[in-house]
Amino acid sequence: MALPPSRLSHTTLPQLPTMVRGAAKAQAQAKAAKNAPKEAKSTIPGRAAALKLTCHICRTPAPSYKTLVIHYEAKHPKETVPSEASLTS
Domain ranges of the chain: 46-88
Torsion of CA 77, 83, 84, 89, to 10 degrees: -120
Mean pLDDT along residues 61-81 = 93
pLDDT digit string, tens, across residues 11-40: 566 666 555 677 888 888 888 888 877 776
Per cent of the chain over pLDDT 90 is: 27
Q: pTM of the full predicted structure?
A: 0.48
Structure confidence at residue 67 as a pLDDT band (50, 70, 90): very high
Mean pLDDT along residues 61-73 = 92
Supply the DSSP symbol for 77: T
How far is the CA of 12 from the CAs of 4, 8, 15, 56, 88, in angstroms? 14, 7, 9, 71, 77
Q: Which has the closest alpha carbon to 79: 65, 88, 69, 66?
A: 69
